Chains A and B, each alone.
Chain A
Amino acid sequence: MILTIFSGLILALFCVPFGRQINKKLSNFLFLIPLSGFIYFLLQLPLILAGQTKTVRYEWVPTFGINLDFYLDGLSLLFSLLITGIGTLIFLYAAAYLKGKQYLSRFYGYLGLFMTAMLGLVSSNNIILLFVFWELTSISSFFLIGFDNENEEAQKSALTALTITGGGGLLLLGGVILMSNIAETYSIKAMVFSAEELKNHSWYGFILLSIFAGAFTKSAQFPFHFWLPNAMKAPTPVSAYLHSATMVKAGIYLLARFTPILGNTSLWNYSLMFVGGITMLYAAFHSLFRVDMKGILAYSTISALGILVFLLGIGTKDAYIAASVFILVHALYKATLFLVTGTVDYATGTRDIRALAGLRKVLLPVAIAGIIAALSSAGVPLFYGFIGKDLIYEATTHSFSLDSTFLTVAAILTNIFIGYSGLLVGIKPFTGKLSEEHSTVRLPGWKLWLPPFILAFCCIIFGCFPGRTSGLMSYVASAIAGKHFNLDLKLWHGVNTVFLLSMITLTGTAFIYFSRRVTNRELIILSTFNKLAPAYLVKKVTDGLLAFAKKFTNTMHNGYLRNYTMTIVLFMVGILSFKLLNGTPLTIDWYHLSPVSFYEVTVAILMLGAIFLSAITKSRLTALVALSVVGYAICILYVMYGAPDLAMTQFAIDTLTVVLFVLVLFKLPPFLNFTNTKIKLRDGLISSAFGGIIGWIALTVLNESVNKEVSPYYAENVYKLAKGKNVVNVILVDFRGFDTMFEIIVLAMASIGVYSLLKVKVKKSERE
């Protein structure tokens, strides 16, 4: 199972050395990888149908409880089958669709990476592992959207998608950590037992907020939906795979997976119903005004995702069943429609719905696939979409939580619009009169029409024999609900309310389809509302953020070392005095201070004199020498208090610092007095404050009882454990060896930094 999950990752690694072969011929055979995964997951089907689950565990970072812990139940299996099954067709389709493109091997690498991420996500039992895969889907999606890497629009869209989903992912991490802290486990399966504790915890609201942020951004819920239509800049197979069938459903998966843990509280249900409801209506309405086939599909996808969230929010048994079935329904017809769009685009070179008509004469198999998928999306009987729609109405009419009429009306409206957009994309291009310019269009190779055909075929098969899927669906719904129930999907329920609602929907869909034509005037009117759209607002916010960052950097990084020092010192004085004034006793234990000796007084006088000299001198060299006197005086202090190691190091450092200064001294401009009294006063104040604070801390530290265990521990074990006698050195190279290691790495980096700043010559072309 681990091998299956990671096969995509292996493929991605494989793409590095064998890229050229993939670019040529090998890409035609890569579909075998998801296919073998699909077969593997199909073989697990009897196990799941027998009511069992499958777990695979491999230790990864046992110290932190993060393990490769995979778990397969009905919900995971449905998603895995979708990922590998649709993946197989996409891999096949893309080989023809992107044939001859540069970077084809990279494309397959990203696609493989994505497949691994998605499979890992839906089968992780470890919540941290789930998060890792979650982020990986965002990253691979970023690369796939921006695959056309020289197109500025694609770059921008990829960045938008990454920002939105990445931001949500960050919040999700917060929620995930909170959950595992409260439940005291990283295992999702085990968290179910802590469900009550989690729901009654005072942080419950915050956990929900974080989980929702993750799920809503990923599944393009209002107001985060706008990245999805933008993401349609990706090659069409990617849109079909990631942005309709699989990745955008990751948010749905997350919500479904956490329903038994966090769900069924009024906060959970109402937020989901509210957000899902708004999303489905808003996006469905929006799809009325699109003319790009992919744009229409993008909005109807958002709308469908809204329905799923909405159903999970209703939270009844019927709703869970409806959601489970609708996941499959939607994946099947939407992926088909996307692939049909891709083929039409490939053959005719346009996706504008107004320019396309009568293509059935030249693209017959594509037309069949498109029409079937369109009918399924409209919910015509005998297609799988009909079952999905029935179940949705079943759920809304039988919900107790809110006014069921209200929910039903919302669902009907959404379904009408979704059906309309399905018909528009799936049927409109193929009916009517073939235009002159498209009369020479040829049917492309089988790889470009067989995959949508297969998917469309599934829409009919499942639609005519829905009972075949009820086994798996009952386990999917059980996994969401957290308790088992049986399910029997039937084609014919008799004439009842639900059937009447279905017929109303169909009539509405047909009415809109035949009466509506998008006009240019509408598009112009609509564009005036763009200023209210979330996308516009977010753009404003990010622009503002960038402007702020620029201003902030210019203020803070002004290029004057003295200003940096001042900022750092002031900040430190600020927080230290805040801490000292809040709760630290101000008493100084004068009684226990040891008497001051003659030598100490001498050293102190020497230091004060040197400091005074360095402050008033008019020569750089004098100031430098005076400063080094201070340094050496400190060395003497170290010697007096029995720290020869420190003294030696300080001595060497001071010597080298002076040398360094001398080296640059001659390059500096003459030592002029630029400062006026005001600045001198300010600097004096700041430095006295700093000195005062440090002195104060040094005196207060004496009051605190020293942790007596530390020194004896080292003294005792230095020889026993590390065979050394010099405690300081043994701590450096043995007890705290890791610190030293990282310190020398930092040193090395600093030195490389100095070298590259001063030595590396910038090429003329790179210099601005």
Chain B
Amino acid sequence: MDFRLTEDQRALRAGTRELLARLWPPEALREPVDRARLRGLWRALGDAGVFALRLPEAAGGVGLGAAEAVLVFEEAGRVLLPGPLVATHLAAGTVEGAATGESVVTRVDGELVAWLEAADRVAGDPGLDLDLTGAVPLRSVDPLTPLHRLPRPAAGGGAGAGGHDPAAALLTAAEQLGSAARTTESAVRYAGEREQFGRPVGSFQAVKHLCAEMLVRVEIARVAVYAAAVTGDPVEIAGAKLLADEAAVLGARDCVQVYGGMGFTWEAEVHLHLKRAWTRARTWPVAAAAEEIEAETLGVGGG
């Protein structure tokens, strides 16, 4: 057993971080993302192999696995990369143009569809009769995630409805992990720089302990997400999403708190992490569903 990242995996992570620093620097978050801008980004991500990562090399893919995909999506989460990344990645190989980033593919999750207007295709379970004609835009809390609400729960809601895909849950959890790691780093950096009472606010235990708890949540989420990628077990994936959602949402909220007044401004990037974390936490499985999935397996073997 060796749970550590391999050399190749570390290189992939470093390479992805460099790529995204170029494609999606912090300033990129300041401009609205319209259809043209999203398509440009998609082509570049497609060229870099982000969508074809898990396709076999014979099919023009990169031939890597879930562990590698999780590392890439963690990096995407760090920089708040916009767009239906998970849906397009999962559509590679089945929807034409998804692997190369020529097609923007989104998916239905519960009653919501993100990036509906910018998308070329809406993926769903085969046989799912999606009626998107009545989809109504809502004023999305996340400025970089446009949302439409469907007129009624897709295929009646319930188990087996559109969006209940563990693979999507895993990649979403990886994005949450990246966001949580980023807000933790930001909070720690700010706490070390900002001075009050003649010293850095990070020297006060009240602030220190907030930061320490942020890191603990990140590290727990990290091992949960990585292990879920390795085992592929749907229950473990649900648990990983639960812990990663919590790390991202609470991490961003604590980061707002550490930033003080600055945290409440539009200018600081923190609120964008919180809002994106909220939208991801609403995707399947939400906390209640994940906890029920985890509970289902408990106590059935006698004891």
A is bound by B: no
Q: B residues bordering A, Cβ < 8 Å? A: none
